Structure formats: structure tokens, C-alpha cells
Amino acid sequence: MAGHSKWANIKHRKGAQDAKRAKMFTRITKEIQVAVKEGGPDPESNPRLRLAIQNARSVNMPKDNINRAISKASEAGGDSYQEITFEGYGPGGIAVFLECMTDNNNRTVGAVRSIFNKRGGSMGTNGSLSFLFERKGVFQIVKTNEMDLETLELELIDAGAQEIEMEEELIIVTTEMADFGAVQKKLDELGVKVENASLQRIPNTYKEVDVETAKKFLRMIDEFEENDDVQNVYHNLEMTDELAKAIESE
């Protein structure tokens, strides 16, 4: 999982420099609205909504925006988003898994297919790549000087953490999907501020390619992430030290 945590750290640093707040807010707003439609407007009884609100606060989304998203989803006849996924390959045969929320299926399918084709990739059939990814809970915690890291690690392992990676700026905690809620509850009890918590699709294997091919692939990933219908992008590109240096020098 080393490649996974390197990606988290690089994204964290890059995000701090050039966070695209509007797109981030749009995605979180959709997640809030879908959560409300699915389980109601009360975060106490709706775990998905509670998680969406927590992630909204972690990126400093204004409280008014959060409340407006909840109210809008509670209204009859409000926006109705459908969750759909796409799978395919990018340059170098790197696997890609997309999670989308859309109010226009045809628009989203067309846009995703266009990006795959334009960037030298190919869109596959649903389910064709599912075996390459496993759903796990992932928590990103920003390190602070006040933390007793050894005690925190023991508490989280006891709660069900599968893996804890101490990076330079972040602590990445990975859990089995079934243990996600227990670890989230433990972090709440400990008063640990979570920057982001989500169920992610973690690759079972990673694919290493040369830096130029990796850069072509990452341009495709950037284009996917810029599309408002795309919520999450997962892939199995191996983050080598050489590639990490090339990205950070840009």
C-alpha cells in the first residue's frame, strides 16, 4: 500500500497549494444531497450524511452551504442524482475506476468515453476491473505535535485499523469496509481531527510504467477529476520515487 500513501501525501501538499474549492464544494454538495435522499436529513441517524458533513467541514465548506444542500435535497422535486461507475484502461495499461454522480446519464457516459478515447485509453464493461480493486475505509489525519502517536496507533488497532502509515505530514489509516464505522467512532472519542474519511477502492496490485507514460496517464486523470460528474477516480499506477520527484518538481 506504499503507493497509496504516497499519492495521499502528494495530493495533500498539492491541494494545499492550488485547491479547487468550487469543484470540491460541488462534489461534497452532491454527496450530501444523495445521502439525504437515501437516509433522511438527520445526520444522527444517517451515517452517510454524517460522513459527508464531516468531510465538508474538513475543507472549510461554509455551514450555510451545508444546510442549503440538506434543505434542497429534502424538498420534493429537488435534484435527483444517480450513482454510476465506469472502468477502463489508460496509457500503459493502467487500470482506472470512476465513481460518478449525475442527473444526466447520457452526458456523463459521453464525456467519460471521450476522455478515454482522447487520452489514449479504452473504456471497459462494468465489472471487468472490479477484481483489481478492494473497497476499504481510509482516514487521512494531519499530524500535530500534540499527538501521542504510539497511543493513537494502539487505540486504532484495537478499534479495527488494518494498517497505519505514518507519513511526513499525514497519518493514513486503512480499515476493512466492515470496520470503517468502529474506527470512525474511536477517532471521534479521541477527539482526533480527520481531514478526510471515505470508502475507497484500493488496488490489489500496482503497475509501474516509465515517467513519460505516467505523465500522459496523469493528464487523463486530471481531465476526469475536472469533470463535475466525476466524484472519485481510482487507479493502480505505481508511485515510484522517480515519478514522485517528477510530479513535485512541476
Q: Mind listing the pLDDT tens digit for each residue in 52-103?
A: 998 898 888 999 999 999 998 888 766 688 899 999 999 999 999 999 999 9
pLDDT at 112: 97
pLDDT at 1: 47
- Residue that is last in its domain, among 74, 93, 123: 74
| 64 and 10 part of one domain | yes
Is residue 199 classed exposed, middle or buried when 0-12, 13-18 and 19+ CB atoms within 10 A define those classes?
Answer: middle
Helix (H, G, I), strand (E, B) or coil at 137: strand
Domain range enclosing 30: 2-74
pLDDT in tens, 184-208: 999 989 999 888 899 999 999 999 9
Grid cell digits, residue 182: 468502529
| 231 and 190 part of one domain | no
In this prediction, residues 136-161 reach a mean pLDDT of 93
- Distances, alpha carbon 58 to alpha carbons 53, 143, 193, in Å: 9, 14, 8
Residue 46 has pLDDT above 80, yes or no: yes
| 190 and 233 part of one domain | no
pLDDT at 2: 46
| 122 and 141 part of one domain | no
CATH of the domain at 11: 1.10.10.200
Distance CA 176, CA 136 (A): 5
- Residue that is last in its domain, among 74, 92, 108: 74
Segments in the chain forming alpha helices (H): 2-18, 21-39, 47-58, 63-74, 105-118, 149-159, 180-190, 211-226, 241-248
| 65 and 175 part of one domain | no
| 124 and 218 part of one domain | yes
What does DSSP assign to residue 22?
A: H
Distance CA 155, CA 187 (A): 9
CATH of the domain at 91: 3.30.70.980
Distance CA 64, CA 186 (A): 28
| 118 and 211 part of one domain | yes
Q: How many domains does the chain have?
A: 3
Task: From 241, 228, 162, select the one nearest 200 (Cα to Cα).
Answer: 162
The pairing of beta strand 194-203 with beta strand 133-142: antiparallel
Helix (H, G, I), strand (E, B) or coil at 173: strand
| 171 and 225 part of one domain | no
Distance CA 178, CA 159 (A): 11
In this prediction, residues 25-51 reach a mean pLDDT of 92
Distance CA 158, CA 247 (A): 36
| 95 and 138 part of one domain | no
| 24 and 55 part of one domain | yes
| 164 and 178 part of one domain | yes
- Residue that is last in its domain, among 35, 56, 74: 74
| 209 and 127 part of one domain | yes
Q: What is the pTM of this model?
A: 0.84
pLDDT in tens, 15-32: 554 456 778 888 999 999
Distance CA 60, CA 33 (A): 18
Task: Provide the percentage of residues in the chain whose pLDDT is more than 90.
Answer: 65
Task: From 196, 203, 192, select the one nearest 31 (Cα to Cα).
Answer: 196
